[in-house]
C-alpha cells in the first residue's frame, strides 16, 4: 500500500458573512497517496478548486486540517507556508500564468530562482526540464510564441522543476482540444508521475478520466463518491 | 536575491511602454527640480559675486546691510577703530557703488564700480590683459571680462568712456570667479578715484575688509566690531546673509521652493501612477509568484528593486538632461545664471527616493494583499 502524501480532514470553507455566507466546501476528508493520480471532479461551483487550494496552502480553511508528513500546513507561519508551497507543491494553473516578459526557460526556472539558486544554474536545470517536456528548442522564446499545448507543457516543466512531491493541476485540459488534452495527460501519467509523487487534478473533462487512479466526485461542497479511475470506474 | 532582481528587472524593462512612461515621469521631475534649484543656486552665487571675487576674510558693515548692493557707508573713524583691534593684520576700505557710463559710441550703460584701497589694492582681480599698476594711471579703470563685458562695447586696453563727466580709460582687462547678478558690467579702480568720480553721501566707505593675523582671532575681532555697533562677517557668513535675503525677503526662495514642490508632485504623480498601473497589470504575475512559493519579503524586495531601478535611471537621465541644457544655455546666453551644486543633486536624489518609496509602498500594499487563490482559481 502506498504512503499517504496528503491527508485532508473535515475541511470547511465558506465565503462571505451573514446572509451572504456561502459554503464552498462542507467537511471534506480524503487522502492522496504517493504514486497516485487523483482526480477531483464535479460540476462548476462544486468546490473542487477551493478544496485543492486549501490542500496546496494557498487558501486557508475555516476549519479542518491538511496534513503533509504529519504536519498541519495551516499551523505553519506565513514564511514556512510559502516555503511549503515552493518546495513541496507544484502548480499547473488553469490559464498557465506564464510570464510573457520572460523566456520559456526563465519561466521554468522561477521556482529555482525563488529558492535562491544561481541564475545560470537555474536556467540549465530549466532547460533539462524543457527537454523532458519536449520543448528544449523553444527555451529562448517568450511563451506567447508557443501554442496552447506547448504553454501547458512549459507550465508542467515549471511545476516539476523543483521536484515537488505533490503536483496540482487545475483544469489541465480546459484550454486544449481533445487530442492535445489526452496527449498531455498521457505524458503526465507516463513521465511525471512516480512512486514519490502524488498528482491531484481538478477537472470536469470526462475524456481524461481513464488516466486517473481514483476520482473524487464532488457536488455542492461535499464528496459524493470516490471511484477508481479508468474507463467506467468502480465505486 | 540576484536572480529575483533579474526577474524583476526583466518584468520591468521588457514592458517597454510602461517602463518608458515611468522613466520619462521621473526624468521630467528630476529635470524640473534640478533646473529650478540650479537657477536658484546660480542666482545666489551671482548675488554674492563681489564677496567671492574680492575674497577678504572679514567684512565690516552696518548691521542693516543684507546684500552687497545695498551698502550703508561707514564713518572713516570705524576704519581707524578696526585697525586698532588686537589681532587685525590689516584693514582697508572698499568702495562699492553703481555709476552710469557713457561709452565711446555715446551709448549709456549702468555699471558696478569697485574701488580698491589705493595703497594695497586688496581684493584686486586677476588680469587677463594689462598690468595692475596701471590702475594708478590717470583715469585708469580695469574692466571685468565677464558675461556683461560686451555691454561696454567690448573695450580693449586704451578704450575710453565717460563716468559722470570724468574721462575713464581702460588699463586692464580682468577675469573674476563669478559674474554679477544684475546684468551690468563691473569696473575696478582705486578707492580714491571711485569716491572722486561718483557722487557720494557724507561717508564713503562701503565696507572695511580685514585680514586677521590668524583664524583664531576672528571671534575676538567680530566681538569688538559688534561693540562698535557694526558687524564683522566672514566671507561665508556674508554670503549666507545675502542668500537668506534673496531666499526669504525677495520671494525668490518661496517661488523656487514652490516650483521644486510642483516638480516633485508632478514626478510623484506621473511615476506613482505609472508604477501603480505597472503593479496592477502585473498583479496576476505577483499572485502567481506568491502561489508558487515566493515569500512576502521576496516580493517586497523585487518591487523595491524595480522602483529604485526606475527612480535611479530617471535620476541619472534627469541630471544628464538638465546639465546638458544648462551647458548649452550658458554657451548661448553667457549671463544665464544656473549652477548645479551637490546640494541640488542631493535634494533631487532625496526627492527621487521619496518617489520610489511612495510608489513602492502603494504597489507593495497591493501585492501583499492579493490572495494567490484568486490566481489559482483563474
Q: Does A128 fall in a domain?
A: yes
* CA B194 remoteness from chain centre: 30
Distance CA B52, CA B46 (A): 9
Cβ of B294 within 8 Å of Cβ of A58? The answer is: no
Assembly ipTM: 0.87
Q: Which residues on chain A are in Cβ contact (under 8 Å) with B291? A: 58, 85, 91, 93
CB pairs under 8 A between A and B: 97
Note the pLDDT of residue B378.
53
For residue B331, name the pLDDT band (cuts at 50, 70, 90): confident
**pLDDT for B377:** 60
**Alpha carbons B279 and B307: distance in angstroms, whole number:** 10
Q: A88 with A164: CB under 8 angstroms?
A: yes
pLDDT-wise least confident of A99-108, B109-118, B265-274: B265-274
Closest CB to B373 among A59, A116, A122: A59
Q: What is the number of structural domains in chain A?
A: 1
CB of A231 within 8 A of CB of A210?
A: yes
CA-wise closest residue to B114 among B96, B100, B127, B126:
B96
User: Which of the four pLDDT bands, split at 50, 70 and 90, describes residue B165?
Assistant: confident
In a domain, A235, yes or no: no
Which residues of B fall below an 8 Å CB-CB distance to A? 1-4, 6-7, 10-11, 14-15, 284-285, 288-298, 371-373, 375-378
Helical H segments across chain B, by residue range = 2-13, 16-47, 49-54, 76-83, 191-197, 218-227, 235-248, 252-281, 283-292, 296-332, 342-369, 372-376
Give the range of the structural domain holding residue A53, as residue numbers without chain letter.
4-228
Contact B3 A116 (CB under 8 A): yes
pLDDT at B47: 81
The tens digit of pLDDT for each residue in B311-325 reads 999 999 999 999 999
User: Measured between alpha carbons, how far is residue A121 from residues A116, A157, B207 in Å?
Assistant: 11, 16, 74
Going by the DSSP 8-state scheme, the letter that residue B368 receives in this structure is H
- Can you tell me the distance from the alpha carbon of B37 to that of B109, in angstroms, rounded to the nearest whole number? 31
Does residue B298 have a pLDDT over 50?
yes
Q: Residue B1 has which C-alpha cell?
A: 536575491
Say whether pLDDT at B144 is over 50.
Answer: yes
Instruction: Assess if residue A234 is contained within a domain.
Output: no
Q: What is the pLDDT of residues B354-365, one digit of tens each?
A: 888 888 888 888
User: Residue A31 is part of a domain; what is its CATH number?
Assistant: 3.40.50.300
Q: Which residues of chain A have pLDDT under 70?
A: 1-2, 230-235
Partner-chain residue, chosen from A49, A84, A102, that has the shortest CB–CB distance to B377: A49
| Chain B residue at shortest CA distance from A164 | B292
Identify whether A233 is part of a domain.
no
Mutation target to probe the B interface, by most B beta carbons within 10 A, among A113, A144, A151, A160 is: A113
Amino acid at each position: 500500500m502506498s504512503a499517504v502524501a496528503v491527508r485532508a480532514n473535515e475541511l470547511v470553507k465558506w465565503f462571505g458573512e451573514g446572509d451572504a455566507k456561502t459554503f464552498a466546501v462542507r467537511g471534506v476528508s480524503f487522502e492522496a497517496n504517493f504514486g497516485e493520480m487523483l482526480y477531483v471532479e464535479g460540476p462548476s461551483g462544486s468546490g473542487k478548486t477551493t478544496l485543492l487550494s486549501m490542500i496546496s496552502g494557498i487558501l486557508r480553511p475555516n476549519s479542518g486540517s491538511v496534513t503533509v508528513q504529519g504536519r498541519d500546513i495551516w499551523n505553519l507561519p506565513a514564511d514556512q507556508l510559502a516555503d511549503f508551497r515552493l518546495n513541496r507543491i507544484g502548480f499547473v494553473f488553469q490559464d498557465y500564468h506564464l510570464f510573457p516578459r520572460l523566456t520559456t526557460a526563465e519561466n521554468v526556472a522561477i521556482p529555482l530562482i525563488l529558492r535562491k539558486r544561481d541564475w545560470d544554474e537555474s536556467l540549465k536545470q530549466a532547460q533539462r526540464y524543457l527537454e523532458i517536456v519536449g520543448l528544449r528548442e523553444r527555451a529562448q522564446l517568450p511563451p506567447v510564441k508557443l501554442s496552447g499545448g506547448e504553454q501547458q507543457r512549459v507550465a508542467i516543466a515549471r511545476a516539476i522543476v523543483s521536484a515537488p512531491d505533490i503536483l496540482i493541476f487545475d483544469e489541465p485540459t480546459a484550454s486544449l482540444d481533445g487530442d492535445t488534452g489526452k496527449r498531455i495527460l498521457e505524458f503526465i501519467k507516463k513521465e511525471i508521475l512516480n512512486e514519490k509523487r502524488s498528482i491531484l487534478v481538478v477537472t470536469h473533462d470526462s475524456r481524461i478520466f481513464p488516466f486517473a487512479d481514483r476520482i473524487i466526485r464532488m457536488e455542492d461542497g461535499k464528496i459524493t463518491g470516490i471511484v477508481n479511475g479508468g474507463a467506467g470506474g468502480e465505486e | 536575491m540576484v536572480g529575483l532582481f533579474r526577474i524583476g528587472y526583466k518584468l520591468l524593462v521588457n514592458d517597454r511602454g510602461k517602463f518608458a512612461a515611468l522613466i520619462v515621469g521621473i526624468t521630467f521631475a528630476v529635470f524640473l527640480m534640478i533646473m529650478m534649484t540650479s537657477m536658484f543656486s546660480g542666482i545666489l552665487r551671482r548675488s554674492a559675486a563681489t564677496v567671492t571675487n574680492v575674497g577678504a576674510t572679514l567684512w565690516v558693515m552696518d548691521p542693516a546691510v543684507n546684500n552687497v548692493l545695498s551698502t550703508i557707508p561707514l564713518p572713516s573713524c570705524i576704519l581707524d577703530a578696526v585697525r586698532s583691534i588686537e589681532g587685525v593684520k590689516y584693514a582697508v576700505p572698499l568702495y562699492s557703488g553703481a555709476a552710469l557710463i557713457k561709452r565711446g559710441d555715446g551709448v549709456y550703460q549702468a555699471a558696478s564700480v569697485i574701488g580698491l584701497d589705493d595703497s594695497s589694492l586688496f581684493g584686486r582681480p586677476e588680469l587677463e590683459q594689462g598690468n595692475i599698476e596701471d590702475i594708478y594711471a590717470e583715469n585708469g579703470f580695469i574692466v571685468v571680462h565677464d558675461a556683461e563685458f560686451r555691454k561696454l562695447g567690448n573695450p580693449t586696453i586704451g578704450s575710453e568712456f565717460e563716468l559722470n563727466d570724468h574721462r575713464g580709460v581702460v588699463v586692464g582687462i580682468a577675469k573674476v570667479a563669478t559674474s554679477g547678478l544684475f546684468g551690468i558690467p563691473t569696473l575696478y579702480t582705486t578707492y580714491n578715484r571711485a569716491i572722486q568720480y561718483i557722487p557720494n553721501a557724507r561717508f564713503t566707505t562701503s565696507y572695511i575688509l580685514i585680514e586677521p593675523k590668524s583664524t583664531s582671532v576672528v571671534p575676538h575681532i567680530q566681538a569688538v566690531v559688534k561693540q562698535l555697533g557694526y558687524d564683522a562677517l566672514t566671507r561665508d557668513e556674508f554670503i549666507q546673509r545675502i542668500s537668506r535675503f534673496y531666499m526669504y525677503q525677495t520671494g525668490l526662495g518661496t517661488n523656487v521652493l514652490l516650483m521644486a514642490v510642483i516638480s516633485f508632485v508632478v514626478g510623484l504623480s506621473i511615476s506613482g501612477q505609472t508604477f501603480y498601473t505597472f503593479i496592477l497589470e502585473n498583479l496576476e504575475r505577483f499572485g502567481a509568484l506568491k502561489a508558487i512559493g515566493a515569500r512576502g519579503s521576496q516580493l517586497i524586495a523585487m518591487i523595491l528593486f524595480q522602483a529604485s531601478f526606475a527612480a535611479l535611471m530617471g535620476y541619472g537621465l534627469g541630471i544628464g538632461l538638465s546639465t546638458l541644457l544648462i551647458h548649452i544655455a550658458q554657451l548661448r546666453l553667457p549671463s544665464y545664471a544656473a549652477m548645479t551644486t551637490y546640494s541640488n543633486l542631493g535634494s533631487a536624489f532625496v526627492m527621487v527616493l521619496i518617489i520610489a518609496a511612495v510608489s513602492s509602498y502603494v504597489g507593495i500594499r497591493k501585492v501583499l494583499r492579493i490572495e494567490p487563490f484568486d490566481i489559482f482559481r483563474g
